[in-house]
Amino acid sequence: HGPGRSTHRLSLGAEAEWLETREQAHAFENINLRFFRGGSDSVQVFDGGETRNSGTHARWYAANNISMGALTFDLSAQGSWARGSNQPTAGPQGNRLRWGSAGGQAGVGYRIGHRYPTVLRAAAAQRYHESLIRALQAVDPDGLGISTYSWNDADHDGSFQAGELGPLLKSEGAPFSRLDPQLKQPFTREVHLEAAQELPARLAVSLHAFRRVEHRLLAFMNTGVLSSAYNAVTVFDPGDDGASQTGDEASRVAYNQSSETLGKDAYLLTNPSDAGGFAEGYEGRVRQKGTRLQWELAFTRYRAVARTAPGNGPLQNDWSAFAVINDPNQSINAYGSTFFDRGLGARFWGTCQLRGDTQLGWIASFLDGAPYGRILPVTGLNQGLIGILATRRGPGDGSPNEGKRTAHNLTIDLRLSRDFRLRRGRLAASLDAFNLLNAAKALQEAHVTS
């Protein structure tokens, strides 16, 4: 207890850990054959290996919840110190990385009224990401390397044979990557606002809003092939339907790499100035908790926007994955909705006590589809076949640019249950009915033109 009859709830904690990761990568015969429209295109040669990365982490936190009548404060601080390294079995010296961070959170709440109180809350925080081991794995000299060659399939049998390797087109992977000596730890800043109101008839409503901004995200820069090695060219886009002369054709710009720079890729894992992202949204809830009936209706509006790597899957289109946006072709429409941006979500659930010991429960949920962009294959370039994003993924930051989503999902589930009282104990029986609408929606669209 302190001044003004305040109450303090203190909590302190610390932990230390040592960890080691071991990873093996290999492929069948160490090659991957790539085809396009039924014809042989290129050959990827894998140089797999076994990597070992170790790290030491020490963390601490301190928190204090202060109550002063209707006013409350939540204050907390966190800190960490981490170091890690990898040591290759042969070749160049391994990588070492050290990070130290200190973050915290401050929140305030105020309660108005007693019978039907209104509660207001606000909080701001800064938190650091612990991606040290992932960074070391991405640049381990013993890690997976991929070399892409053109395929001279002279007999057109679709079967790769010795002597059919053409010129080297692309080098990528951990052996061709290194750490930025000034690499900084990523962190997040976020703000939360909340208002809650209790009403007659055991009703309660609440609204929660937030905004989160990502800083110092990690990404790869190609220091071996600079942007000056590319020249802009015009390519034909048949449109969403993949057919010509249907009214949705357009001309797009792609970038042709100079042949002298093919295969000279060298990557630097760093903190690009344009690799940040943000997420924001709000959630509203209405609930009633009665003796025989209780239910809740919740809806969420959300968007997450960042500059990410090409592709429509979570390993490319998410800011937690290390983007490789150094090629001008990879920068086309790269800023948009991330994979986990579902836009709108809603849920209505409840339980109702029927006669005796019989109970009915239900859950109805709605979820927007995943954002994606249409990929346009481009041929005839020195670097071989590539795909560019002809449309932005999802609505992005709200700008109109042909953003797309997969189909939404709507489902309703029911449960009917009853308890039977026996001479000794109780027997519980239930019947579940899933997906009453018998609906199936596409989780992935045909996102590649033609």
User: What tens-digit pLDDT sequence spans the chain (450 residues)?
Assistant: 445 678 999 999 999 999 999 988 888 889 999 999 888 999 999 997 788 899 999 999 999 999 998 999 999 999 999 999 987 877 667 889 999 999 999 999 999 998 999 999 999 999 999 888 999 999 998 899 999 999 998 888 888 988 899 999 999 999 999 999 999 999 999 999 999 999 999 999 999 999 999 999 999 999 999 999 999 999 999 988 888 888 788 999 999 999 999 999 999 999 998 888 999 999 999 999 988 999 999 999 999 999 888 888 888 888 888 888 778 999 898 888 999 898 999 999 999 999 888 999 999 999 998 899 999 999 999 999 999 999 888 887 655 556 788 888 999 999 999 998 888 899 999 999 999 999 887 777 778 886
Q: Which of 27, 29, 28, 33 is nearest to 164 (CA)?
A: 33
In whole angstroms, give the CA distance from residue 335 to residue 339.
12
Q: What is the pLDDT of residue 399?
A: 59
**Tally of residues, the chain:** 450
Give the integer Cα–Cα distance in Å for 273 and 295.
47
pTM of the model: 0.86
On the 0-12 / 13-18 / 19+ scale of CB atoms within 10 A, 392 is buried
pLDDT of residue 1: 45
The 39-47 sheet, strands edge to edge: 31-36, 39-47, 145-151, 165-173
Residue-level pLDDT at 235: 95
pLDDT at 398: 59
Is 206 within 8 Å of 195 (Cβ atoms)? yes
**253 contacts: CB under 8 Å, gap ≥ 6:** 232, 233, 234, 235, 332
The closest alpha carbon to 376, from 253, 262, 259, belongs to 253
CA dist 258 and 383 (Å) reads 8
Among residues 288, 45, 292, the alpha carbon closest in space to that of 173 is found at: 45
pLDDT score, position 445: 76
SS3 76: strand
Rg of the chain over all Cα atoms, to the nearest angstrom = 28
